[in-house]
Chains A and B, each alone.
Chain A
């Protein structure tokens, strides 16, 4: 058990060193951007896992926080002209408040009923945000808000001004996103070993028993949603700052919400490192397949959307055979007779 843990840390340190050195190996490259996106998705996955993994409340509505974070940053930066990074805490707070707003009623529902309600919340939010500017223009007092500048830009989205030195800007956000990923991991690690985490775990395993033993299940679930929303809101903010263009149809899309559910489940839901692993697998598979082509005789098949098929297959296999996800699979292999035999032989040689 101890060696298992120290091995995890060793792997983590090697990965972190590689990640830190990547921009020096390939400065300003495609790999740097892929790295940044991976950090953001790892953060999303880890954040979702606080409510979905520890607390067992499967939310399909986390895309709302991503979008709100992004548009809060863009709308404030465009109106006031302050540097976008200053809006990060506000983006997190707005997402958190939105989490309180829809979490309070929906978290009274249990299991699949909660999940279904979150799909509704996500879709309603998306439609609302796409039409927000037009909606406000029709209301007497509120129309002043969007008189000179849009809030979401409707179908045309919002564009932030281009920074002067794009290379160092990109590099700064690469490390910034990396640092934030570590923050999200630290929060997740802290919650897992805290009193709060014990409450979430108890709620996950048996909400009625948890309630009987004095845990206010609705309060802890709403708190977990708010923490999770805060972190996801900040990811949205960082996304807007790096890519400089955001479209409500994309930011609030159902696909983002689905991605946040898939990543932790693929990696190992309810664990600290599983969601990290899941996000990396998720992004790498998506990236590799988006450029790959399958040659069948003289026929060349484009595999751009093929990743969705693969995720679906992976999800079915995981739910059927290894609910612990990729991390559970690795642990199972580690415990298996085969690996014991190999390590025994290895010891014989040394």
Chain B
């Protein structure tokens, strides 16, 4: 598997605060790369650096060998990187269909897409939102809105999908459904980087996991190795549990 995304020596300052401190990582084509860490570890900031909401203070972000650091989010979207938002942000007064159509119209290759409506319907079918297509987004349940967030991003035709806590807050049935959906997305050939606090989900889904703490990478490896890593246990539970 070739490397799709490569970050090297990423640093992001907000005034005196170093949110991301010298992080290097990569995501291979077609894998699910998990990102965990305690609150404030810099996970979301790292996502925002990759998707272009922030530009890094220093460091490289290479996507398919080309630099995407400092590009605006709409430009990274056109390159093939699409992110979901941690706090769901549907276009509330639009129908579910139109929400997804925005991604279809303006996402990667959107201006060259001949039949936007057919693509939109396909995505709605794929994500299981088709029965709710005509409802206003604001009337969906939380699970529905989280699913819409994923559907909309998929409509933008990403090669790399950044999922920011799409499972947290769901009930066990919904968690199982969303985990299944994530596997199906990967089966479409889309690489996924996901931030998640629900350990059961991320341990089962991820091919590899990276752990951040205070903006630094403290561990990286397969889920099994991560679960036994003393530095990780210390970061989550404190020193006495590490041994």
Contacts and interface: CB of A to CB of B under 8 A. Distances in A.
A213 B156 contact: yes
B72 interface: yes
Interface in A192-211: 195, 198-199, 201-202, 205-206, 208-211
Interface in B63-78: 72-75, 77-78
Contact of B106 (A205, A208, A213): A213
A201 B155 CA distance: 18
Contacts of B101: 198
Interface in B93-133: 93-94, 98, 101-103, 105-108, 110
B107 A213 contact: yes
B108 A214 contact: yes
B91 A214 contact: no
Contacts of B153: 212-213
A208 B91 contact: no
A140 B188 CA distance: 68
Given A201-B91, A205-B93, A209-B89, A216 B74 contact: yes
A144 to B, nearest CB: 44
Interface string A207-244: 01111111111000000000000000000000000000
Contact of A217 (B74, B98, B107, B155): B74
A211 B152 CA distance: 12
Contacts of B105: 195, 198-199
B92 interface: yes
Most chain A C-beta atoms within 10 Å of own C-beta, residue among B53, B73, B77, B82: B73
B21 interface: no
B94 A201 contact: yes
Contacts of A201: 91, 94
B206 interface: no
B116 to A, nearest CB: 8
Given A201-B94, A205-B93, A206-B91, A211 B74 contact: yes
Contacts of B51: 212
B83 interface: yes
B26 interface: no
B198 to A, nearest CB: 23
Nearest to A270: B93
A101 to B, nearest CB: 22
Nearest to B91: A205
A216 B110 CA distance: 13
- Most A CB atoms within 10 A — which of B90, B93, B106, B108? B106
7 contacts: A195-B105, A198-B101, A208-B89, A209-B90, A213-B74, A215-B102, A216-B74
- Give the 9 A-B CB pairs with smallest separation, nearest first: A214-B77, A214-B106, A205-B91, A214-B107, A211-B73, A209-B89, A215-B106, A216-B74, A213-B103
